[in-house]
């Protein structure tokens, strides 16, 4: 998953908004909400989220029995589905048709193409007023934002002792892609917890005009030079504005 458990614990202990608090806030006051998390790994986020129905998707869960039990206590019904996200959406569409998603957190494979697919697939099963959050959208330095096909690939690229245990990958490009191709969505990044991306239906205040080929060609230097514009970067307090402006459920 690219972030070791010690760093995750440190981030989650910091005051202010992070992905867990953003999800919790978005789930508040919803009637029997459904929560989907893609990329659960050890369950640092999933075990702390309260929802009526909780769906965990990961190709290889690394949750302890204690963490799994904690996750189950925080939901009336909890589904642990050990498969890739692509296979999940192809094979479990009936589950999502019965239980449309209120809030989702996507924190799986840290390549932008996969994140875009996960977002597009989630949108097909998202309630009209639903919200999708993405982790790792604002890498602070080049190494954390390095392109790799897996955590193991990222480690191997360092060619020696592990320099950092923090990998965001090129998830940030998914924000650029969605802002360029989906004028029906509000897309941006909260400036907290390594960049908490957000996606919901609505009219965006601004868009981008990159082609998929141009997005693929972007480098970390491009992000560093214009990160606020490319990511539609927002302060954490924008979360309340985002949730208040969500379209009404149908």
Q: Which CATH number characterizes residue 169's domain? A: 3.40.50
> Does 133 fall in a domain?
yes
> Does 7 fall in a domain?
no
Structural domains in the chain (count): 1
> Does 114 fall in a domain?
yes
pTM: 0.90
Question: In the chain, which residues have pLDDT < 50?
Answer: 1-15, 250
- DSSP3 helix / strand / coil % (the chain, rounded to 5): 40, 20, 40
Collapsing DSSP to helix, strand or coil, 234 comes out as strand
Domain range for 111 is 15-183+192-232
Considering only CA atoms, which of 118, 124, 235, 130 is closest in space to residue 177? Answer: 118
Could you say which DSSP state residue 208 is in?
-
* CA pair distance 144, 222, nearest whole angstrom: 15
Q: Are 132 and 126 in contact (CB under 8 A)?
A: yes
Q: What is the pLDDT of residues 189-217, one digit of tens each?
A: 999 999 999 999 999 999 999 999 999 99
| H or E stretch at 25 | helix 19-27
> Does 5 fall in a domain?
no
Mean pLDDT of the chain: 90
């Amino acid at each position: 998953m690219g972030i070791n458990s010690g760093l995750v614990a440190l981030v989650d202990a910091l005051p202010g908004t992070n992905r867990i608090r953003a999800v919790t806030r978005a789930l508040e006051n919803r009637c029997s909400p459904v929560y989907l998390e893609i990329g659960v790994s050890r369950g640092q986020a999933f075990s702390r989220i309260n929802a009526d129905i909780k769906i965990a998707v990961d190709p290889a869960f690394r949750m302890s029995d204690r963490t799994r039990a904690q996750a189950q206590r925080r939901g009336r019904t909890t589904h642990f589905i050990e498969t890739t996200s692509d296979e999940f959406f192809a094979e479990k569409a009936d589950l999502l048709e019965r239980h449309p998603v209120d809030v989702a957190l996507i924190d799986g494979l840290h390549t932008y193409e996969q994140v875009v697919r996960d977002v597009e697939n989630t949108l097909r099963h998202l309630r009209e007023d639903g919200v999708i959050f993405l982790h790792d959208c604002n890498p602070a330095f080049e190494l954390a934002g390095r392109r790799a096909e897996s955590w193991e690939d990222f480690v191997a690229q360092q060619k020696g002792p592990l320099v950092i245990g923090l990998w965001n990958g090129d998830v940030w490009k998914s924000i650029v892609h969605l802002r360029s191709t989906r004028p029906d969505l509000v897309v941006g990044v909260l400036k907290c917890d390594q960049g908490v991306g957000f996606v919901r239906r609505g009219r965006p205040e601004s868009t981008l005009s990159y082609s998929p080929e141009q997005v693929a060609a972007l480098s970390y230097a491009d992000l560093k030079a214009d990160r606020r514009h490319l990511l539609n970067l927002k302060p954490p307090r924008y979360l309340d504005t985002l949730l208040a402006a969500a379209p009404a459920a149908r």
